[in-house]
Copies of this chain bind each other. A is one copy, B any other.
Amino acid sequence: MERSTRQRTAIRQVIEAAGRPLSTQEILDASQVSVPGLGIATVYRNIKALLEAGEIDLVTLPGENPRYEQAHQKHHHHFQCTRCQRVFDVFSCPGSFKGMAPPGFEVERHELTLYGRCPDCA
Q: Which residues of A contact B (CB under 8 A)?
A: 58, 60-63, 66, 77, 79, 82, 88, 90, 92-95, 97, 100-102, 104-119, 122
Contact = CB atoms under 8 A, between A and B. Distances in A.
A105 B92 contact: no
Contacts of A58: 63
A66 B64 CA distance: 11
Contacts of A88: 102, 105
Contact of A109 (B60, B94, B107, B115): B115
Q: Return the 10 tightest CB-CB contacts between A and B, nearest first.
A: A104-B119, A60-B63, A60-B62, A108-B116, A106-B116, A106-B117, A107-B116, A111-B113, A109-B115, A107-B114
